[in-house]
Amino acid sequence: MNENQRAARNKKIAHAIMWIVLLVMFIAFIFPFLLVVINVFKTKGDITSNPLALIGAHGFTFKNFPAAMKKMNFLTVFLNSLTITTSATVLTILISSMTSFVIVRNGKWKFCTIIFSLMIASMVIPFQVLMVPLVSVYGNVLNSRITLILMHVGFSVSMAVFMFHGSIKTNIPIDLEESATIDGCNRWQTFWKIVFPLLKPTIATVGIINAMAYWNDYLLPSLVLKKKDLYTIPIATQAFYGTYSTDIGLIMAALLLAMLPILILYVFLQRYIVEGVTSGAVKG
């Protein structure tokens, strides 16, 4: 066997090993989701006796969905989650994109440099460090959707500014803005008519990342929202966990109902994700 044949064989072996590793990782990642989908159509007894079976002893059942929706008051908690997630995501995108534009185009100002540096530094602070002071200081204004929305935006805007900053600095030439100024646009019109439409990939990326975080967040809403009529879906799922018994079928149905909206959103926006993440990279 000559050198070229040996190199080709080694390349094929390495390629096969890579695919095997990726397949194992994919199975490990997708298995919990498949487990939920399989067991959501079973009775509680079938799930307990054989959770890995594709079909339970009593066959398929759709009773878990209406029972779960009724117990968790699904329509109310769904609207709460939708309102909070949509409002916080839109505000995060608007505030962070405008802030990034000002910082990039006024990079010579020391104030902008300081603000951007503080935002980057704040990204390393875990939420758990701020949890107790947050509740202590703002305890009187809790139990409000608006409070939760503003807190979500406050904790997310630094990362969003970082992503928009790289995208504007790398992908949007200043010549476009100068041309718009010559045509009579002011800075406000230049941003909304020229810059913002070109940020579509980054907007989609920031939107899906933050929407997933807001929709699935349990810790912050559990601290802020105390009334049952304000609960979001992650908090409402606690209704299925009893002291002495837990209906796993209802939990599976609730989890599937909770993940479907954000899964659908991801499917529609997934083609922008990679483009948006890499749009702020330095080009050679």
Number of Cβ within a 10 Å radius of residue 161: 24
pLDDT in tens, 6-48: 777 888 888 899 999 999 998 888 888 888 888 888 887 778 7
Q: Report domain extents, the chain.
A: 3-39, 71-278
Mean pLDDT of 247-273: 78
pLDDT in tens, 230-244: 899 888 887 777 655
Backbone phi, psi, residue 185, to 5°: -85, 140
CB 172 within 8 A of CB 198: yes
* Residue written as token pair 């990204």: 123
pLDDT of residue 281: 47
| Contacts by 264-272, CB closer than 8 A, 24 or more apart | 265/208, 265/211, 266/208, 266/212, 269/204, 269/207, 269/208, 270/208, 272/200, 272/201, 272/204, 272/205, 272/208
pLDDT of residue 274: 60
Q: Model's pTM, two decimal places?
A: 0.79
pLDDT > 50? residue 282: no
Mean of the per-residue pLDDT values of the chain? 83
pLDDT in tens, 213-225: 999 888 888 888 8
pLDDT of residue 280: 47
CB 161 within 8 A of CB 116: yes
CB 276 within 8 A of CB 204: yes
Right CATH number for 71-278 from 1.10.260.40, 1.10.3720.10, 2.40.50.180, 2.40.50.1020?
Answer: 1.10.3720.10
pLDDT of residue 10: 81
Instruction: Give me the helices (H) in 43-109, please.
Output: 44-49, 64-71, 74-105
CB 214 within 8 A of CB 83: no
More confident call, 98 vs 183: 98
More confident call, 20 vs 123: 20
CB 214 within 8 A of CB 84: yes
CB 100 within 8 A of CB 280: no
